[in-house]
């Protein structure tokens, strides 16, 4: 990866952003969505399990 | 002479007052809980922990870089490796700090007396930006010179240049390797203690009985 040159820029309509920044924003969206969607492993005997079991 | 509660006089003084204050505000089961409320079963609550792990990684790699110096981190393969560890550790630190911020923002986690926790977190973020900036200025390459030359005019225009001279490598390096890490670490410790004192904020729709942290 060439890091001593200016970054490439994506320019689509109003969107004007460098590729590295676009990657970071994309990562934020992907990780946040995954954190909401993926099930969290539950420890046996946890308060969460007690809550689910009433 | 004993007091009315049969406690000896040695239980007086500022040390006893501090001890009692800590015992009331932050009992050990809150400081080091073994169980969390049911709503903590979500990956969103992991963002803050990953941020702290990245901070530990950044500080550890930074200690190695400071020990060996710029020539080492630019010219030797091992130095470049540690330089990369430091750089990518910072990327992960900021990425997950932003994710933590977004998650807590949409949870309105300043509710129920947690405003100080939120404010300390916000200050930590801004101090981290200054730490990253001084880090870019401490690289000792053309990139750092370019950033310093361009930043000086903005800082001079704001008046900050009188005491924050980006062209002064010694000042920027000192800030980056001592004062900024100390400030961030201290703020993070305060942030965690505030979380432990108040407990993890419950989701907006969660029952109020689940307000506090670990089972007590």
Give me the pLDDT at residue B83, please: 95
Mean pLDDT computed over every residue of chain B:
88
pLDDT for position B198: 86
Q: How close B1 comes to chain A (CA, Å)?
A: 47
B48 touches chain A (CB under 8 A): no
* Residues B143-194 pLDDT 10s: 899 999 999 999 999 998 889 999 999 999 999 999 999 999 999 999 999 9
CB-CB under 8 Å, A31 with B38: no
Closest chain B CA to residue A23:
B95
The DSSP 8-state label assigned to residue A5 in this structure reads: S
**B82 close contact with A: CB closer than 8 A:** no
Which residues of chain A lie closer than 8 angstroms to B46, CB-CB? Answer: 35
**What is the Rg, in whole angstroms, of the alpha carbon atoms belonging to chain A?**
20
Alpha-carbon Rg for chain B in angstroms: 22
Best mutation target, A50, A51, A54, to test chain B (most B CBs within 10 A): A51
Inspect the interface and report whether the beta carbons of B37 and A35 lie closer than 8 Å.
Answer: no
What was the pLDDT predicted at B65?
96
Percent of chain B residues past pLDDT 90, beyond the cut: 67
Is residue B216 scored above 50 in pLDDT? Answer: no
Please judge whether A47 and B42 are an interchain contact, meaning their C-beta atoms are less than 8 angstroms apart: no
Q: Pick the more confident residue, B205 or A3.
A: B205
Nearest beta carbon to residue B95 from set A24, A36, A40? A24
Does residue B205 carry a pLDDT above 80? no
Instruction: In whole angstroms, give the CA distance from residue B21 to residue B27.
Output: 10
Q: What is the mean predicted confidence (pLDDT) over A16-38?
A: 94
pLDDT band at B39; cut points 50, 70, 90: confident
pLDDT at B73 (0 to 100):
94
Average pLDDT over residues B109-119: 92
Cβ contact, residue pair B43, A40, below 8 Å: yes
Judge whether B184 and B124 are in contact, CB under 8 Å: yes
Q: Which residues of chain A are within 8 Å of residue B99 when distances are taken between CB atoms?
A: 28, 31-32, 35
CB proximity B215 to A under 8 Å: yes
Confidence band, pLDDT 50/70/90 cuts, at residue B58: very high
Structure tokens that stand for B9 in this block: 């006089």
Q: Do B41 and A42 touch (CB under 8 A)?
A: yes
């Amino acid at each position: 990866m060439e890091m001593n040159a200016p970054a490439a820029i994506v320019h689509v309509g109003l969107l004007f952003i460098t590729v590295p920044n676009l990657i970071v924003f994309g990562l934020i969206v992907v990780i946040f969505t995954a954190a909401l969607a993926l099930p969290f492993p539950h420890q046996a005997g946890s308060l969460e399990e007690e809550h689910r079991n009433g | 002479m004993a007091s009315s509660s049969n406690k000896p006089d040695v239980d007086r003084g500022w040390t006893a007052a501090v001890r009692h204050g800590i015992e009331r505000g932050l009992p050990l089961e809150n400081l080091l809980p073994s169980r969390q409320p049911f709503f903590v079963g979500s990956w969103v609550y992991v963002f803050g922990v990953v941020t702290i792990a990245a901070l530990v990684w950044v500080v550890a790699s930074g200690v190695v870089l400071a020990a060996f110096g710029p020539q080492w981190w630019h010219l030797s393969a091992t130095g470049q490796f540690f330089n990369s560890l430091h750089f990518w550790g910072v990327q992960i630190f900021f990425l997950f700090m932003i994710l933590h911020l977004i998650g807590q923002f949409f949870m309105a986690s300043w509710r129920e007396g947690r405003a100080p926790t939120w404010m300390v977190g916000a200050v930590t973020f801004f101090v981290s930006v200054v730490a990253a900036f001084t880090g870019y200025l401490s690289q000792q390459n053309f990139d750092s010179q370019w950033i310093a030359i361009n930043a000086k005019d903005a800082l001079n225009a704001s008046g900050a240049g009188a005491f924050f001279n980006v062209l002064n490598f010694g000042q920027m390096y000192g800030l980056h390797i001592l004062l900024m890490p100390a400030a961030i670490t201290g703020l993070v410790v305060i942030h965690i203690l505030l979380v432990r004192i108040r407990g993890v904020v419950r989701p907006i729709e969660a029952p109020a009985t689940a307000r506090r942290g670990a089972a007590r």
